Structure 1
Amino acid sequence: MSLGALRPVPLVDQAAEYLRERITGGDWPVGTKLPGEAALATSLGVGRSTVREALRALSGAGYVRARHGAGVFVVATDPGADWSAQLRRAAITDVYEVRVLVEVEAVRLAARRRTADDITVLRAALADRRKAHDGGTAEFVDADIALHAAVVAAANNPVLTGLFAEFVPALRRGLIDLVDLLDLRSGDPGHGDEGHTALVDAVVRGDSEGAGHALRDELTSTLALLRTL
């Protein structure tokens, strides 16, 4: 199965969803050792870095666990049903309040821990967000979320990566509604480009405080808009 031709959702999310379905569907029961990164990358038609981030997300969500020198094993087939259901019911303002708490600290960690590969991914995600300026609302929101996911992943903490992945479905629905309802892109198709550029630049140069301030400003300004609805 190749994921490249599917809907415009970040490849990491698609890969994680596919692997999660294999686990929850019973193909890989608890105790199963997953195929190696190279084998998964080949079967999914994506790069090994995409597989690695997808496995991090699944690990953070409680589905798999890496055992040093042995591989990655399935440890649960439905670890977060109650949490996921709660997120589906949550108001977007509630999700944003938690994003402020989680992502601001995540981006500070990212500025201290980012690798050369992380920097490449961040710059590519920022470029993809700019390319999406001319697209529809869903395409733009997906590119925006992919950039934030790349920032969180650069913190190199699988729990944070998994936690953010759990937010994505509720976040995506809420952002699409927000952008359309407030017509945020009518005069500015790349809404928030300056702030996201400052965010990526701060992470790249290792400025943890600058990165934290840039992201907090962005998230709190959006949260303020949400509270006007």
Structure 2
Amino acid sequence: MALDCNNSQLLRQAERSSMLDVRRNLLSGQIAELLLTRVRAGEWALGQKLPGETVLAAQLGVGRSTVREAIRELAGKGVLQPRQGAGVFVTALDVQEDWDSVVRRAAITSVIEARVAIESEAAALAAARRTPADLRAARRALRARAERYHDVEELVDADMAFHRRIVLASHNEILLELFDGFVPRLRPAMIEMLRIRPVRSPEDDHTAHLAVVEAVAARDPAAASRHSRTHLESMKTILS
């Protein structure tokens, strides 16, 4: 009987502790939103130091621990940055939206425009930095692409794999990450487009891609960039 009583007390304590944690998290979230609103309103400029925890706690009518949790939340979102012994500083004027969400919402033409900027630069860098292995991989990807005109989905996947090979040859991790971010957004649109408007001339299409590879092989950054840009801008025209 005593054991049952102890267990009941422990359960009630755990429930109270859990409810306190929930309330604390909700409150710190609300305080984080209030601080973010003040940052957005320009109360603190970029790079400016916030008042101390004690001052903020008094202003907001909460405890210092709640302010501390709110600051930690905004620091995780890149808005604030606590600096040991110096205080808390504004590092962004708003929460940066998740990159994948931005790409998913963007119009296809906007995605293509960004690809033009990224891939034309990647092609130029590839021409300057490519290794023999990079060139062999790009040629293999191009051959694989040439064999996929019979199936729309396979062609789109082979096309993406080819373009990714060129970006890989640039040896720039940021450009590669940006390219990879576009693929999920672009793939369905490309499949839909090619089902409505199939490739008119596989030979011309292949030649346009071959021109990029040959410029990379010749270590001609200007030509590689030009051929990449021309191809992608023609695709943008079709999708517009």
Take 2:202 and 2:237, find their aligned partners in 1: how far apart are those partners? 20
1:61-84 residue CA offsets vs partner (Å, 9 max, x unmatched): xxxxxxxxxxxxxxxxxxx98110
Alignment pair present for 1:154 and 2:169: yes
Residues 94-109 of structure 1: pairs in structure 2 closer than 5 A: 94-109=110-125
Corresponding residue to 1:110 among 102, 126, 151: 126
How is 1:173-188 mapped onto 2 (pairs within 5 angstroms)?
Answer: 173-181=188-196, 183-185=197-199, 187-188=200-201
CA RMSD of aligned residues (A): 1.6
Cα distance, 1:226 vs structure 2: 1.6
- Deviation, 1:215, is 0.7
In structure 2, C-alpha distance between the alignment counterparts of 1:219 and 1:162, rounded to whole Å: 19
% identical aligned pairs: 39
Distance in 2 (CA, whole Å) between partners of 1:202 and 1:223 is: 22
Q: What does the per-residue CA deviation read over 1:64-108, in whole Å, with 9 as the maximum and x for residues that have no partner? A: xxxxxxxxxxxxxxxx98110121122111100101111111110
The alignment covers a number of residue pairs equal to 145
Q: Is the 8 A contact 1:133 1:190 kept in 2?
A: no
CA distance in 1, matches of 2:172, 2:184: 21
Say if 1:197 and 1:133 are closer, same or farther in 2 by CA, change over 3 A.
same
Residues 139 and 81 from structure 1, CA distance in 2 versus in 1: closer, same or farther, beyond 3 angstroms?
farther
SS at match of 2:198: coil
User: Within 2, Cα distance between the matches of 1:137 and 1:178?
Assistant: 10
* Residue 220 (structure 1) aligns with: 233
Unpaired stretches in structure 1, ≥5 consecutive residues: 1-79
Q: Among residues 109, 112, 125, which one is paired with 2:141 in the alignment?
A: 125
Amino acid of the residue matched to residue 146 of structure 1?
Answer: A
Larger relative helix fraction: 2
Which residue in the other structure is 1:169 paired with?
Answer: 184
State yes or no: 1:91 paired with 2:107.
yes
- Residues 190 and 168 of structure 1: CA distance in aligned 2, closer, same or farther (over 3 Å): farther
- Read off the aligned partner of 1:110 and give its amino acid letter: A
Quote how far apart the aligned CAs of 1:191 are.
6.2
Partners of 2:176 and 2:204 in 1: CA distance? 25
Matches of 1:103 and 1:160, distance apart in 2: 8
CA distance in 2, matches of 1:95, 1:104: 14
In 2: Cα distance, 1:86 partner to 1:191 partner: 34
Match of 1:142 among 157, 160, 164: 157
What are the Cα deviations for residues 196-217 of structure 1, in whole angstroms up to 9, with x where unaligned? Answer: 0111111011111111111111
- Once residues 203 and 105 of structure 2 are traced to their aligned partners in structure 1, the CA distance between those partners, rounded to angstroms, is 29
Q: Write out the 4+ residue segments of structure 1 that deviate beyond 6 Å after TM superposition.
A: none
Q: TM-score, normalised by structure 2?
A: 0.58
Q: Which of structures 1 and 2 has the larger relative contact order (alpha carbons within 8 angstroms, sep 6+)?
A: 1
Please list the CA deviations of residues 89-129 of structure 1 after superposition, one character each: whole Å capped at 9, or x if unmatched.
22111100101111111110000000011011101000000
Structure of higher CA gyration radius = 2
Q: Is residue 184–residue 191 contact of structure 1 (8 Å, CA) maintained in 2?
A: no
The 3-state SS of whatever aligns with 2:122 is helix
